[in-house]
Amino acid sequence: MNALPPIVRLASGLTRDIEKAVTRFAHSQKYVIGAQLRRRAMKVWETAQQAWIERDRQAHLVRKLVKRVDKLRLTMQLAKELHAFGSFAEFEALSRDLSNLGRQVGGWNKQLNPKGQNSPPRAAEKRAMTLSTHAASTCEVNS
């Protein structure tokens, strides 16, 4: 079996570290914001794993991973504002790992889903069928 790429190992480590941090949350925050953090971290890890394994759906899954990393970042920010973390240093360490993961996911996304002036051309999209012609439209109006 192939070794896991750094991006999946980083997602796994971040999920593990968030699990440990949430166990130290105050009771009032452990079961709401803590549960949300756990869920979102787990979804990031699962999606990274899935994107690595399912090569035929990789571009789609990496776009999904970008969104999930952003949601996790927002949830961590809210937890910080609620003073859920044991210390600012704990939040800072998790935030640093999340930023590294976000950079790697962003690079992976740009590699698989290029945009912009210098990106390779995409397959031509099919145009919708013409349901009526201009002549048919003006004919109906004039009648």
List the chain domain ranges: 6-114
- pLDDT value of position 76: 97
Q: Are 92 and 139 within 8 A, CB to CB?
A: no
- pLDDT value of position 115: 77
Q: Are 101 and 69 within 8 A, CB to CB?
A: yes
Q: pLDDT tens, position by position, for the chain (143 residues)? A: 458 889 999 999 999 999 999 999 999 899 999 999 999 999 999 999 999 999 999 999 999 999 999 999 999 999 999 999 999 999 999 999 999 999 999 999 999 988 755 555 555 556 555 555 666 556 555 55
CA 66/CA 70 separation, integer angstroms: 6
Neighbouring CB atoms inside 10 A of 1's CB total 3
Indicate the CATH number for domain 6-114.
1.20.1440.60
Q: Are 97 and 10 within 8 A, CB to CB?
A: yes
